[in-house]
Amino acid sequence: MTNMRRTLAGPLGAVVLLVVLMSLAMIVAGTSPLDGFSALFYGALGGRSQIGETLVATSALLFPALGIALAFRGGLFNIGAEGQLLIGALFAGAVGAQLHVAGPLGIALLLVLGAIGGGLWGAIAGWMKARFNANEIIATLMLNFVAAYVSLALVSGPLKGPLATGAETAWLDQAYWLPTLLPGTRLSIGILLALAVAVVLWWLFSRTIFGFELRAAGDAPEAARRAGIDIGRITWLSLALSGAISGVGGATIVTGELHRFNTQLSPGYGFTAIAVALVGDLQPLWICLAAFGFGILEAGGLAMQASAQVPKDAIHVIEGLIILVLAARRYVAARAETTAV
Amino acid sequence: MPEPALVLRGIRKAYPGVVAVDDAHLELYPGEIHALVGENGAGKSTLSAIAYGETRADAGTVRASGTVGLVHQHFELVGRLRVWENVLLGREPRRGWRIDEAAARSRVLAVAERNGLAIDPNAFVETLPIGVQQRVELLRELDREPAVLLLDEPTAALAPAEIASFFATVQGLAARGAAIMIVTHKLQEVIAYATRVSVMRHGRIVAQMETAATSVDEIARAMVGGELPSVAARAATQPTPCLSVRALRAGSGETSVEDIALDVRAGEIVGIAGVEGNGQTTLADAIAGMIPYDGTISFANEGAQIGVIPQDRHREALVMPWSIVENVMLGRQHRPELRRGATLDRAHARADAQRIQERFDVRAATLDVPVRTLSGGNQQKIVVGRALIDDPNVVLAYNPTRGIDVGAAALVQSRLMQARNDGAAVLLISFELDEILALADRIAVMYRGRIVGEFERTNVDRGAIGRLMAGLS
Amino acid sequence: MKVKALTALLVAATCALSLAGCAHRRGPAPGQLTLGMVTDVGGLGDRSFNDSAYRGLQMAHARIGAYVQVLQSRSAADYQPNLTALTNLHFDMVYAIGFLMGLDLDQVAKQHPQQRYAIVDAVIDDPNVVSITFREQDGSFLAGALAAMVSKTHHIAFLGGQDIPLIEKFEAGYTAGAREVDPNIKVDVKYAGSFEDVAAGKELSNLLFNDGADIIYTAAGKVGLGAIDAVKSRDGDYIIGVDSDQDALAPGRVLTSMVKKVDVAVFDVARSLQEGKPMHGHVEFGLKDGAIGLTDFRYTKSAIGEANLARLKAIQAAIVSGKIVPPDSRKALAAFTPVPL
C-alpha cells in the first residue's frame, strides 16, 4: 500500500502540477483554462487525424524516453538523447536521400543506420566516462551541441538537398517511407517499433543477466563491482544502447513522417523525453503511457496555439518545470537512501 | 515509589505484513537506567520512536511527565557547523534578528559543565572523534532538560575507554533525576550499567528484570525465547593447503599492507585479529581481487570458488531496494545453474533464497520484500547465506557479526564453523577478539599493515595477542 | 497531510480561475469563413511573401469578415505538423505559403482529401489544392525593359537566389524585356545559391557592378537585401527590388521593385470561396489581375524620365493584350524575338 502510494505520488503529483501551471499560463495568455483545455484535448483526441498527430508525437517521444530510461536504470544521467536522436536521423536521412536498394531492405537499413548513429553518439559519452571518468551529464549535454553543429554543417554543405533552402537533405524516395499505420494521418508503423522496444526493454530489465547487471550498477555501484560486474563495460554499453534507441527514433521520424532530414526535426523531443521517462518511473510499460500523455500535450499544444492563442512554447516551459521537480525529487530520494544507512 | 516519568500502556503498531509492537507496557522512573533489549526486528526501535512521539501508535497511550529526548544511533549532526551551532540548532538565542553567539557559547558550556561533559563549543563537529560527536548529540538533548532520555545504541560506535566515560555521564544524569532508557545489543553493558532491563520479542515485552538479579545468559535466553543456538562443534579435519599469500604489498598510506605471508588451509579458520584501521580492509580487498597488489595470492585448486562477506553490507554486499531473491542472485548471475541463455532462472534463484531462508532463519514476510525493510541481522544472514550457498573453497569473512543481535550472530558463527568442518578455508577478519578466539584454529595479529604474530589455537595467549594488537611486542 | 492540503488548494484555485476566465472566449463564430495560414521558415516579418500573404488574410478579415489564424514554422520540420493542426481544426481554407512547402503539402493533402488547401508559388496536382502561381516573367519583362532604358553602360545584371524553375521565370522575362528595348545589351546572370545569405548578396552585386553592370535585378529573397546594401554607396548604379516594395530601403538607388502581390491572390482565393465559386487547380495571376507589376517610381521618376515611362506603359499594354508574350524559361528566351511596337 505504502509502496503503491510512493510510486504513484510522483506521476500523479506531476499531472496535478502540470494542470495548475498550464491553467496559469492560459490565464496569462488571456484565455480561460476551460477553453484552453478543451482546445488542447480536442486538438489531441478530437478525431482520427488528431489522434494520428498525438501518436506521431507519442512515437517521437517514446524512443528517446526508453533510451533515457535504460541509461538512468544503469545510474547514468544521459541527457544527450536529443543529440543521439539527431545523429540517428542524420545517418538515416543522409543515406536515405541517395539510396538505391529495394524498399523494405532500404527501410531496415535506414533504421539500423539510425541505431548506429545514435549508438555511436552515446558510446562516445560512455567511453569518456569509462576511460576518463568524465561526468556523463556534462558529456552527453555537450554532445548535444556537437550533434547540432555537425549536422548543421553537413546539411548546409555537402548533404544539402538540391531544392532545400534551410538545412535539410533531399527527400527520400517514396519506396523508403515507412508504411502508414492509420490511413488519413501521418502516423507510420514506427510507433509499433517503439512499443516493441518498450517490451524488449521490459524483458531486458526484468529477465536478462545484462539487465540485472545494469540495474545493479545503477542501484548499488559498489555492491555491483564486488559482484564481479564490469562497471566500465556497463557504462559505455548502456550509453551506447541508450543512444541507439534514441537514434532509431530519429531514423523513424525521417522515414516515417518527415521523409527527409532537417536539423530542426526535433522540437526538443530528447529533452521532453527526460520528463516522460521520469513520469513513467523508468518502467518501460509506464513510459508508454507517459509518452502518450506528453504526446497529447505536444499535439494538443499546437491546436491550442491555433485556436486558443496560448503559445505552444508555454507547454515547453511547463514541461521543463516538471523535469526539474521530478529530478529534484529523485535526487532527494537518492540522498535520503544513502544517508539513511 | 515515585511517579513514573514515562508510561506506555497497551501500545500496538502494525506495518504492512508485520506487527512491530504488540500490547507493550512499560514504565520508566526518575533516576533509573532502563535497558531495552531484543533481537533485531523485535520492535525496540518502533517502541522508542513511539515513546519519543516520532511515530504514532495504532493503539495504546503514551504519557510523559516532561520533555522526552532521543539520541539516535546514527548521529544527526551537521559536520560543517560548530559544536554550539549543532547543540542549539533551531533554538539559537537571538539579539534582534541576529544570533547572539556569545550567549549561545556560554549556554552550551553551562549545559556541558552541569553534566560533566568536556567540550569545546567552537570546534567544528566533523573534526571531532566519534565519542566527542556523541557528546554533542547528547548535549543537544540535555539543553532541553528532558525528564526522559532515550538512547538508541549509544555505544555502538564507541571505543572501550569512551564507553566507560559515556556511562559515567549517563549515571550522573540519572542521579540528578532523569529517567533513562537505553536500547542496546550489548548485554554486558546492560549488566554493568543498567538498573532494570526489559526484553522484547516479536513486538511484545516478554520479560522485565532487575539487572542485579539476572545474568547475560538469562537475558539472552529471554531474547531468543529459549536456548541460544550453540556454535557448531569443531570437527576434526585434515587441513590441506588452499589459499596462500606471499610477499603481499598493497594499498597506500595508513591502511597499506606490506610483506604479508599467510596460509589458509582447507578445513581451518584463520582469524586476523587487530584494531580497526591496521590494513585489514586492504588485505581483504586484495584477496577478493578488488584492488591491485604486488606479490602473490594463489589458490591450491584451479578456479577456486571464493565466498565473500564484505565489511559494509549496505554498500558492498546488498542492493537495498532489491528483493531477497534478486540479492541472492547478485554476484552469482553467471553461474551455469542460474542462467538460461541470456536470461536468469528466477525459479532457481527463488529456491536458493528459500534454502538460505531456512538454513539461516531469515525473518521476512516474503522473499520479494526489499532487503531495505529487513533488520540488520536478517540482512547479514542473507549476505552470509549467499557467500556460503555454493560451497566455496575459500570463505573471506569480514566482521561477519558486527552490529547484529546475539541470536543472529550465533547462527552466523555456527554456519562459518560448519563451512570449515565441510572443508572450506575460512579467513576471518574481525575486530572482536572474542569472536576470533571462539572460532579460529589459528590466529594472526595485524598491526600497521604487517602480521606481527601468529598463534595456534592450542597455545593461545590472550594477553600476548592484546599487546601485539596495541603495537607492544 | 500538508501536501494534500496544498494540492487541494491549487486545484480549487484552478477551477475558480477557469470559471472566472470564461468571459473571454475567442474563436470563430458559427458560419464565419475560416482561413488558416502556415508561413514558411521566413515567418511573419519577412517583408516578403509571408507578410504579403498575411496582408491578404487581413483584407479578407476586413472586407468579408473572415476568421484568420496563422501558424509560423520555425523550420521545415514544422510544415507538416502545422498544416495538419489547421486541418484538424477544420478551417475552410488552409494556405501554405511558399513553394518550399510543396512536397509537405502534397503529403498532407493526400491524407485529408476533404480539406481545401491553397499553395503559393508551387503547382501541386491534388484535386483539393488550389495552386497559386504568378506570371513573374511579365513583371520581370517590364523590369528588364526599364533597366535597358536607364542603363548608361548598356550592361545590366540579374542576381538570382537558387537556380530553380521559379527563379528562371524572372531571369528569362528580365532578359527578354531588356532585349526588347536594346537588342545588343549585355545581361550578366549570377546565382547566389541561397535565398538567405545577405553577405553573399552584397559581395556578388559589388562584383557585378565592378564588371561594368550599372543595374542589377535581384530575385533572391534576403540575398537581395545585401545587394541593396551594396548599392547605397554607389552613385549612378541601381538595384531593382523584388516581391514587395523595396524602394524605400535605399531611396533613389532602388530603381523600382517588381512586386508580386501575393495578398491580392490570397484574397481572391478567399473571396471566390465566400462567393460559393471556389477556384480549382492551377490559377495564374499576372499583370492584368493587378497581382504583378512595378512600383510607382516615387524616388526615381526624374532619373527615368517621362519618355521612358510612356514607353514602359506601351510595353505593359502590349503584354496585357497578348501582343508580347514574355518567355518563362531559358528555352523560351532563346526563341524570343523583340516585338516591334
Cα B117 to Cα B132, B138, B326: the distances in Å are 9, 10, 47
Q: What is the pLDDT of residue B317?
A: 94
- Give tens-digit pLDDT for A90-143: 999 999 988 888 788 999 999 999 999 999 999 999 999 988 888 999 999 999
A204: closest CA of chain B, how far (Å): 8
A339, pLDDT greater than 70: no
C26: closest CA of chain A, how far (Å): 7
Q: Which CATH code is given to the segment(s) C34-134+263-288?
A: 3.40.50.2300
| HSE (side-chain half, CA atoms, 13 Å) at C169 | 16
Chain C contact present for A311, CB below 8 A: no
Residue A341's closest chain B neighbor by CA? B314
Distance CA C55, CA A79 (A): 43
**In chain A, which residues have their Cβ closer than 8 Å to the Cβ of B17?**
none
Q: What is the pLDDT of residue C155?
A: 96
Contact A223 B318 (CB under 8 A): yes
Q: What is the pLDDT of residue B316?
A: 92
- For C136-260+305-334, which CATH class? alpha beta
- Give tens-digit pLDDT for A284-295: 999 999 999 999
Confidence of residue A335 (pLDDT cuts 50, 70, 90): low
Domain ranges for chain B: 6-224, 230-305+391-473, 316-389
Q: Do chains C and B touch (3 or more CB pairs under 8 A)?
A: no
Residue C195 backbone phi and psi in degrees, to 5: -110, 0
- The amino acid occupying position A297 is L
Tell me the CA end-to-end span of chain C in Å, nearest whole number. 92
**In chain C, which residues have their Cβ closer than 8 Å to the Cβ of A30?**
24
Higher pLDDT, C77 or B452: B452
Q: What is the pLDDT of residue B92?
A: 86
Within chain C, which residue ranges are assigned CATH 3.40.50.2300? 34-134+263-288, 136-260+305-334
Q: What is the 3-state secondary structure (H, E, C) of chain C?
A: CHHHHHHHHHHHHHHHHHHHHHHCCCCCCCCCCEEEEECCCCCCCCCCHHHHHHHHHHHHHHHHCCEEEEECCCCHHHHHHHHHHHHHCCCCEEEECCHHHHHHHHHHHHHCCCCCEEEECCCCCCCCEEEEEECHHHHHHHHHHHHHHHCCCCEEEEEECCCCHHHHHHHHHHHHHHHHHCCCCEEEEEECCCCCCHHHHHHHHHHHHHCCCCEEEEECCCHHHHHHHHHCCCCCCEEEEEECCCHHHCCCCEEEEEEECHHHHHHHHHHHHHCCCCCCCEEEECHHHCCEEECCCCCCHHHHCHHHHHHHHHHHHHHHHCCCCCCCCHHHHHCCCCCCC
Question: Cβ atoms within 10 A of the Cβ of B302, count?
Answer: 5
Q: How many CB pairs under 8 A join A and C?
A: 128
C88, pLDDT greater than 80: yes
Cβ proximity of A208 and B343 under 8 Å? yes
- For A55-336, which CATH class? mainly alpha
Chain C contact present for A164, CB below 8 A: yes
Confidence of residue C185 (pLDDT cuts 50, 70, 90): very high
| HSE (side-chain half, CA atoms, 13 Å) at B428 | 32
Confidence of residue C74 (pLDDT cuts 50, 70, 90): confident
Confidence of residue C24 (pLDDT cuts 50, 70, 90): very low
Each as own residue / partner, the long-range contacts of residues B332-337 (CB below 8 Å, 24 or more positions apart, any chain) are: B332/B386, B332/B389, B332/B390, B333/A209, B333/A212, B333/A213, B333/A227, B334/A209, B334/A228, B335/B390
Confidence of residue C190 (pLDDT cuts 50, 70, 90): very high
List the single residue in C21, C76, C111 with the smallest CB-CB distance to A184.
C111
Confidence of residue C11 (pLDDT cuts 50, 70, 90): low
Confidence of residue C40 (pLDDT cuts 50, 70, 90): confident
Confidence of residue A334 (pLDDT cuts 50, 70, 90): low
- Give tens-digit pLDDT for B90-148: 888 888 888 888 999 999 999 888 887 888 889 898 888 777 888 898 899 888 888 99
Across C16-25, average pLDDT = 44
Confidence of residue A340 (pLDDT cuts 50, 70, 90): very low
Which among B74, B313, B329, B333 is the top mutation candidate for probing chain A, defined by the most A β-carbons within 10 Å of its own β-carbon?
Answer: B333
**In chain B, which residues have their Cβ closer than 8 Å to the Cβ of A212?**
326, 329, 333, 344
Q: What is the pLDDT of residue C53?
A: 93
Same fold, B6-224 and B230-305+391-473: yes
Torsion-angle region of B274 (φ positive above 0: left; ψ -120 to 50: alpha; else: beta): left
B positions 269-288 inside 8 Å of A (CB): 288
State the Cα angle at B470 between B467 and B473, rounded to 5°.
Answer: 50
Chains in touch with C (3+ beta-carbon pairs under 8 Å) read A
Q: What is the ipTM of this complex?
A: 0.84
Mean pLDDT, each 10-residue run in order, chain B (473 residues): 87 81 92 88 85 89 90 81 89 86 91 85 84 86 89 76 82 90 87 92 90 88 73 78 92 88 93 87 93 92 87 91 95 92 94 95 91 89 96 94 84 94 94 87 92 90 82 72
- Give tens-digit pLDDT for A12-53: 777 787 788 888 877 877 778 888 888 888 888 988 889 999
A4, pLDDT greater than 70: no
Strands (E), chain A: none
Question: Cβ atoms within 10 A of the Cβ of C293, count?
Answer: 19
Domain ranges for chain A: 55-336
**Which residue bears the cell 538523447?**
A81
> What average pLDDT does chain A have?
87
A341, pLDDT greater than 50: no
Q: What is the pLDDT of residue A275?
A: 87
Distance CA C131, CA C117 (A): 9
Strand, helix or coil for residue B447: strand
Across A312-319, average pLDDT = 74
- For B230-305+391-473, which CATH class? alpha beta
Parallel, antiparallel, or unpaired for β C155-160 and C129-134? unpaired
Query: Domain B6-224: what homologous superfamily?
Result: P-loop containing nucleotide triphosphate hydrolases (3.40.50.300)
Q: For residue A188, what are the β-bridge partners?
A: A180
